[in-house]
Amino acid sequence: MVDSEHPELSIVRQCELLGIARSSFYYQALPPSEEELAIMRLLDEQYLETPFYGSRKMTVFLQSRGYNVNRKRVQRLMREMGLYAIYPKPNTSKADPEHRIYPYLLRGLAITNANQVWCTDITYLPGAKGHFYLVAVMDWYSRKVLSWRISNTLEVAFCVEALDEALAGYPKPEIFNSDQGAQFTATAFIDCLQAAQINISMDGRGRCHDNIFIERLWRSLKYELIYLKSFENGQHLNQEVKHWFQWYNQVRPHQGLEYKTPNQVYCSSLKNVNMKEAKA
């Protein structure tokens, strides 16, 4: 936990060491009830199975599980969790002029090496006494998780921090792909990408398959860790997620990578790229 009276470490430094956004420490909200946490967990689990379910079907699903909920409540919880049904929708609202939407650049593109394309996404994480949000930056080719952050708010700050860490630790990508969520279209996030001269790509609205590999990452994380344990607080959750990502990158073989690990594929790709550049 962050200790505001720590004799040696500032709040900023403690947040950095814990891998959480600084805004998470200052933000305080009334904790949700046990029933609400249970409902949100069910929504999250069902969304993994049926991402095309909107609030109507989710309401029916919860009622079938014995919860006396109406659609308005389910809509509120889904918005709070960042869950949106995956299906084509008419464009009924104008985009904020400060939140520019960029075209999807990956259609038909052969992705042949690491750092050609990075991608990002946010997912909801249930806890015993509250809930959190996780953002990750992934290398598309190798599936390696380059950076991540956990926050208890959906403010853009924790996404920018994850992006900054990835850019500081790895060679920049040619293309950065995300969905059209408010965090990734925010000026602060876009400015970081433009400052690094990275091409920006955004999924079509309601098209989860445009960012398929990070969607699979969330599914693996939740079934292999999140749904198997109870997390008492953000520090406990942060530690477990950190260990899981280390295992995922360094130990867990991927069928889609010919049973190699993301680290193996990433490092091998960098070596091949360097050899080609040396010969050029």
pLDDT the model gives residue 94:
35
Separation between Cα atoms, residue 25 and residue 151, nearest integer Å: 9
User: Can you name the residues that pair with 149 across neighbouring β-strands?
Assistant: 135
User: Can you name the residues that pair with 119 across neighbouring β-strands?
Assistant: 138, 177
Residues 42-86: tens digit of each pLDDT: 888 888 788 778 888 889 889 988 889 999 999 998 888 877 776
Separation between Cα atoms, residue 159 and residue 183, nearest integer Å: 7
For domain 117-276, give the fold.
Nucleotidyltransferase; domain 5 (3.30.420)
Give the confidence band of 189 by pLDDT, cuts at 50, 70, 90. very high
pLDDT the model gives residue 96:
46
Distance of alpha carbon 47 from the chain centroid: 15
- Ordered by start, the domain boundaries in the chain are 11-81, 117-276
- Rounding to the nearest 10 degrees, give the CA dihedral for residues 248, 252, 256, 260: 110
Model confidence at 149: pLDDT above 90: yes
- Mean pLDDT score of the chain: 84
Share of the chain above pLDDT 90, in %: 45
Residues 126-146: tens digit of each pLDDT: 877 778 999 999 999 999 999
pLDDT the model gives residue 44:
84
pLDDT the model gives residue 245:
97
pLDDT the model gives residue 278:
59
Using alpha carbons, select from 158, 102, 153 the residue that is nearest to residue 124.
153
Residue with tokens 């995922």: 248
Model confidence at 14: pLDDT above 70: no
Model confidence at 202: pLDDT above 50: yes
